[in-house]
Amino acid sequence: MILIDGKKEAAELREKLKQEVAELKLKYNKVPGLTVILIGDMAPSQIYVRNKERSANEVGLKSEVIKYPETVEEKTVLEKIEELNNDKTVSGILVQLPLPNHIDKKKVIETILPSKDVDGFHPTNVGNLSSGYESSVPCTPLGCYLLIKKIEPNLSGKKAVVVGRSNLNGKPMTQLLLKENCTVTITHSRTKDLKAECLEADIIVAAVGIPELVRGDWVKKDTIVIDVGINKTDNGIVGDVNFEEVSKNAKAMTPVPGGVGPMTIACLLKNTIDCFKRSQN
């Protein structure tokens, strides 16, 4: 079984991006800029944003974090986004989710210019991805996709099962696999026989949020298994896949932690650089 080392893959990607930023700096005499808006003081969001800022600096991006208190008015946030939309030094804008209840997530996402939407959540980017056009792609499924491609460069005709249909993970993952000519089944909480669906798969991507939902006897021999889940349990952090059981059958799989997680931030940096490059053309 190949243990997919997300930390190593993410470090390699960051190194590549660092070189790319240096080349862009020589060519354009400026570097891509990422601005993150952080509202409130929820601990996980603070940690995510700190990691994003550190990684952005590491590859040479210009990075800025704008912080607002939990009570900030929606109007203030929307006006700031408009200002960043018009700021030529800003290539990518990310508003850290979740937002306080009084702020409309849809409005916030739709105010970000699609060309600066590094999370890939704007309906224009969602539509472009599903139409097979160039777009920003949500960072976590993009990371999963890159890990899968590293193991299996030719995915044409493979059967893929995506477990979970969230806008953040399952749906964009499905689009990426379709683009690679996989036959994709998207499953969810109302799927009748999840085990039977998984047993058909050459590739399983689990993004559910239920600890160790996918068991050893759900996975046929030589399947590639990507575990997006991050679940806090009494035994520490576990994924949506039972690692011990599934690793006996899988051809390759990601651990939790150290699998998909590290790729997510690296892909955010990639998206920022890609937005910059598109804006120069």
Positions marked catalytic: 52, 96, 119
The residue among 122 and 165 lying less far from ligand NAD, judged by its C-beta, is 165
Find the shortest distance in angstroms from Cβ 118 to ligand NAD.
15
Total residues interacting with ligand NAD, rule: CB under 6 A: 24
Select the residue interacting with ligand NAD from 176, 204, 260, 267 (CB under 6 A): 260
Nearest to 278 by CA among 44, 91, 65, 103: 91
Find the shortest distance in angstroms from Cβ 79 to ligand NAD.
28
Do 209 and 167 contact (CB within 8 A), yes or no? no
Q: Is 230 in the site for ligand NAD (CB under 6 A)?
A: yes
Residue 241, C-beta contacts closer than 8 angstroms, at least 6 positions apart = 204, 206, 212, 213, 214, 225, 227, 229, 253, 256
Give 209's DSSP letter: -
Longest Cα–Cα distance of the chain, Å, equals 56
Find the shortest distance in angstroms from Cβ 178 to ligand NAD.
17
Q: Is 65 in the site for ligand NAD (CB under 6 A)?
A: no
Give me the amino acid identity at 75.
K
Which positions from 162 to 201 touch ligand NAD by CB under 6 A, shown as an x/- string? Answer: -xxxx-xxx----------------xxx-x--x-------
Helix axes 6-28, 260-280, angle to 10 degrees: 20
| Contacting positions for ligand NAD (CB under 6 A) | 140, 163-166, 168-170, 187-189, 191, 194, 207-210, 228-231, 260-261, 264
